[in-house]
Amino acid sequence: MADDNVAESLEETWAFLKTGIDNVFKQQSFVPKVYMALYQSIFRYCTSVDLSNRKVGAMELYEAVEGYLNAYTIEVFKKMKELVGEDLLKSYTTEWESFLFSVKVLDGICSYLNRDCINRQRDEGNLNIHTIYRLAMVIWKREMFDNQDKKIIDAVLELIRLERSGTPINRAFVSSVTGNLIELGAKDVDLKKETTPSKDFPVYKEVFEEKFLAATREFYTAEIQKFHEENDSVTDYMIKVETRLQQEKDRLQLCLHYSTGPLLSDCCEDVMITRQLEFIQNHFGRLLEQKMDEHLTRMYGLCNRVKEGLDALRHALQEYVTKEGQEAIQRVATEASNDPKLYVKTLLDIHERYQGLVDRSFRKDPGFLKSLDNAAIAFVNRNAVTARCSPVQGPLKSAELLSRYCDQLFKKSSKMPDEMEMEVMQKQVITLFKYLDDKDVFHKFYAKMFSKRLITDSSASDEAETSFIAKLTDCCGFEFTSRLTKMFQDIQVSRDLTSECKEKFSDGKKSIEFNTLVLSSGSWPNFPTAKLTLPQQLSTSVENFQKYYQEKFTGRRLSWVYSQCRGEVTCSAFKGKKYVFGVTTPQMCTLLLFNEQAVYVAEKIMEATGMDVRTTAAIVGSLVKNLVLKSNMELIGEDVPLTATITLNEQYTNKKVRVDLSKIAMKAEAVKETENVQRGLEQDRKNMIDACIVRVMKARKQCQHQQLTSEVISQLTTRFKPKVEMIKRCIGSLIEKDYMKRVDGQRDVYDYVA
């Protein structure tokens, strides 16, 4: 070469460049100094000011490079034009990778030519000129690929078919060809088209992708047909599909362009899932029956891939779980009708089984959760236990049994759950509670039983009680639990009042242990206030508290509810053995009479205690049934005849020293509770509907009938499901009472009357 400061002729420059380019394309290594010398020779030529002997200057150098690349690719094509199949792919990928590497080096050497001369030409509107790298792609496509594109693509598709059929292949051939197609760029790349590849990769898309997807569809259609001819197992089929989809995903990641992914998925899913959806879904019930959760997970995963693929499964799950729940209750209906624990456990077992299935196998899919909820609503509210009851009692039975289960759960017992177990069990109760149609019925029963636990101090834990009330509040709002909260507060206040009263009247002498509960009449259930003549031992304490309370709270009036009072008496009248009896106050008054004489006619007991006929017969009957008293006449049901002669049973024995005699009396009360709930339910619901209608009308001022009905149902669903007929009657009643009126000329539109 001449001195660095002297510009060479085109011939001199090209001679030097060609030698270097030959070395590049022969993959011969050279030091950076040689690379820079080649770059500088182009730079000097392009920046030369002596252009008198040149036609276009730098463009002549561009044409020389173009000619070199043309000649090179033509020679390469000649070497492989007779090859086919894998031999063709092997040669093509080898040559392509060598060419690609060399072109990248050449593009770097020619970077000044690209930057200064070629880009200037393009800026002037000459789009027939390309950068050296893109020029190489244009030439390779024209001279190499276009002359054998069908052979190359067919060979690639055959390799993929072989791999799908289980034959190991060299995936590098596939990935190299697809990479080559991406690099080739624009749709009809030649000197008259754009120099940058399209983002849509039309060469890859049209030459390869379309044929690849068609071959994929053909292959799997044939494979599925063959599978059905040899095998009818849905589990085997799903495993096969799952495997195939994973294989295609792997192939995509290793061999194809990512843009093919959605199209490949759609193709495979259409052939293997959508067109086989009925076959897959028809086996859903059998998998549920056989508890094949792993395969249910697989079925969900496959059906979830296609549009509306899960709808039939959700519907089938709802029907199946409903049937399972009702059959489970059917198996224990006789025992469960009177065993809240068994009833609740049976419901929970079914729900927990399928809640776990939905969580694990169906990935907590909202649609499947809704199906489970609908099924649970069905089997919780309508089952063999509710069917055994009268038409009036049936709808209330689940709510009653669940509330009685709560009573057992929160009462003191020898087998109390620890704090964590209690929390779990409360959440389980809330799970079933949410499915009750008649939550107001649950509230009525629960409130009565809660009141008894508070009155008798039989709650196992104040924390557990308040925790459960908080959970009910979360479900149904503060209004639903406000009375329960007030009841609990009354007990706390009563403890302080009792303590203050004892301090005031304490005289240091030994006296009976006496505690008083002051209950707000508006918050607690209505208790019967039957008359009772107290013995002197009790009347003094009652009078003292009455005096203390009226001095502390002027104007307040106390009504004593003796039917709810409890106490203990010590008895030593039985063969020298002492017993401590837990009794109701009416039972206590009856037993204390026997300190005065040994024999009574039942009617005389009634006169001495001041109880009415029905109460006397029941109370004395409970003591006779407990064998503490004897009657010379048979009981009539649970009651003693008033003409019977009653004596103390001196032969009474019991292994226990402490004996609760109040249980039989309480069982009789439980039966009455159910009757009372039924009697008061309709009126309570009517009152709630009236209040709700007025609230809605006051807020809206004017409302159409259907809209009003829907709004009332929506607002009261957390309590109960109001019937449309009852809402209609309540609207009529409120119109008569001038709370609202019909709009003139529009019979189904109402105005609020302030």
Does an H or E element contain 747, and which? strand 746-752
Q: Which amino acid is at 347?
A: L
Mean pLDDT of 183-197: 50
Q: Tokens for 291, please give them.
A: 């508890």
The residue whose two tokens read 């011939």 is 11
The reported pLDDT for the residue numbered 105 is 93
**659 close to 581: Cβ distance less than 8 angstroms:** yes
Query: What whole-number distance in Å separates Cα of residue 491 and Cα of residue 453?
Result: 11
Cα 680 to the chain's mean position, in Å?
37
The reported pLDDT for the residue numbered 583 is 92
The reported pLDDT for the residue numbered 386 is 93
**697 close to 423: Cβ distance less than 8 angstroms:** no
Does an H or E element contain 582, and which? strand 577-584
The residues, any chain, with a CB within 8 Å of residue 453's CB and separated by 6 or more, are: 407, 410, 411, 459, 465
SS3 748: strand
pTM, 2 dp:
0.80
Mean pLDDT of 519-545: 85
Q: Which CATH class is domain 677-752?
A: mainly alpha
pLDDT, tens digit, for every residue of 376-398?
999 999 999 999 988 878 888 99
Task: Report whether pLDDT(196) > 70.
Answer: no
- State the burial class of residue 230 (Cβ atoms within 10 Å of its Cβ: 0-12, 13-18, 19+): exposed
The least confident of 15-19, 367-371, 425-429 is 15-19
Query: What whole-number distance in Å separates Cα of residue 75 and Cα of residue 90?
Result: 17
CATH topology of domain 311-476: 5 helical Cullin repeat like (1.20.1310)
The residues, any chain, with a CB within 8 Å of residue 410's CB and separated by 6 or more, are: 450, 453, 459, 460, 461, 464, 465, 468
656-665 exposure pattern, b = at least 16 Cβ within 10 A, e = fewer: eeebebbebb
CA atoms 676, 680, 682, 684: torsion sign: negative
SS3 437: coil
The reported pLDDT for the residue numbered 56 is 57
The reported pLDDT for the residue numbered 562 is 86
Quickly list DSSP for 674-717.
HHHHHHHHHHHHHHHHHHHHHHHHHHHSEEEHHHHHHHHHHHHT
Query: What whole-number distance in Å separates Cα of residue 586 and Cα of residue 141?
Result: 108
**Phi, psi dihedrals of residue 22, rounded to the nearest 5°:** -55, -45
CA atoms 494, 495, 499, 500: torsion sign: negative
| Average pLDDT of the chain to the nearest whole number | 88
pLDDT, tens digit, for every residue of 588-642?
999 999 989 889 999 999 999 999 999 899 999 999 998 889 999 888 888 899 9
Enumerate the domain spans of the chain.
10-198, 214-303, 311-476, 565-661, 677-752
Angle between helices 663-700 and 439-455 (to 10 degrees): 130
Task: Report whether pLDDT(353) > 90.
Answer: yes
The reported pLDDT for the residue numbered 508 is 59
pLDDT, tens digit, for every residue of 119-167?
777 776 667 788 899 999 999 999 999 999 999 999 999 999 999 999 9
Mean pLDDT of 77-81: 92
SS3 287: helix
Cα–Cα–Cα angle for 299, 304, 309, rounded to 5 degrees: 90
Selected residue with higher pLDDT from 345 and 698? 345
**135 close to 72: Cβ distance less than 8 angstroms:** no
Q: Tokens for 513, please give them.
A: 């242990």
Give the confidence band of 44 by pLDDT, cuts at 50, 70, 90.
Answer: confident
Query: What whole-number distance in Å separates Cα of residue 149 and Cα of residue 181?
Result: 10
Give the confidence band of 59 by pLDDT, cuts at 50, 70, 90.
Answer: confident
pLDDT, tens digit, for every residue of 436-485?
999 999 999 999 999 989 988 889 999 999 999 999 999 999 989 999 99
Query: What whole-number distance in Å separates Cα of residue 175 and Cα of residue 181?
Result: 10
Task: Report whether pLDDT(190) > 60.
Answer: no
Task: Report whether pLDDT(200) > 70.
Answer: no
Mean pLDDT of 76-91: 93
Task: Report whether pLDDT(425) > 80.
Answer: yes
Whether domain 214-303 has CATH 1.25.40.10: no
Residue 28 region by backbone torsions, left for phi larger than 0, else alpha for psi between -120 and 50, else beta: beta
Choose among 740, 538, 523, 568: nearest CA to 659.
Answer: 568
Query: What whole-number distance in Å separates Cα of residue 240 and Cα of residue 272?
Result: 10
Angle between helices 234-255 and 171-184 (to 10 degrees): 50
The residues, any chain, with a CB within 8 Å of residue 543's CB and separated by 6 or more, are: none
**672 close to 678: Cβ distance less than 8 angstroms:** no
The reported pLDDT for the residue numbered 754 is 73
**Phi, psi dihedrals of residue 610, rounded to the nearest 5°:** 80, 10
Task: Report whether pLDDT(307) > 50.
Answer: yes
Query: What whole-number distance in Å separates Cα of residue 635 and Cα of residue 639?
Result: 5
- Tell me which of 3.30.428.10, 1.20.1310.10, 1.10.260.40, 3.40.50.620 is the CATH number of domain 10-198: 1.20.1310.10
pLDDT, tens digit, for every residue of 718-737?
888 888 999 999 998 898 88
> Do the first three CATH levels of 10-198 and 311-476 match, i.e. the same topology?
yes
Task: Report whether pLDDT(563) > 90.
Answer: no
CATH topology of domain 565-661: Ribosomal Protein S5; domain 2 (3.30.230)
The reported pLDDT for the residue numbered 128 is 76
The reported pLDDT for the residue numbered 332 is 96
The reported pLDDT for the residue numbered 629 is 92
Task: Report whether pLDDT(223) > 70.
Answer: yes
pLDDT, tens digit, for every residue of 693-709?
999 988 988 999 999 99
Mean pLDDT of 539-561: 86
C-alpha separations of 483 from 478, 496, 562, 665 in Å: 9, 20, 22, 26
Residue 508 region by backbone torsions, left for phi larger than 0, else alpha for psi between -120 and 50, else beta: left
Pairing of strands 702-704, 746-752: antiparallel
The least confident of 110-119, 121-130, 345-354, 708-717 is 121-130
The reported pLDDT for the residue numbered 6 is 45
Query: What whole-number distance in Å separates Cα of residue 568 and Cα of residue 580?
Result: 6
pLDDT, tens digit, for every residue of 311-343?
999 999 999 999 999 999 999 999 999 999 999
C-alpha separations of 369 from 108, 201, 298, 316, 434 in Å: 61, 44, 18, 13, 14
Task: Report whether pLDDT(658) > 50.
Answer: yes
CA atoms within 13 A on the CB side of 427: 7
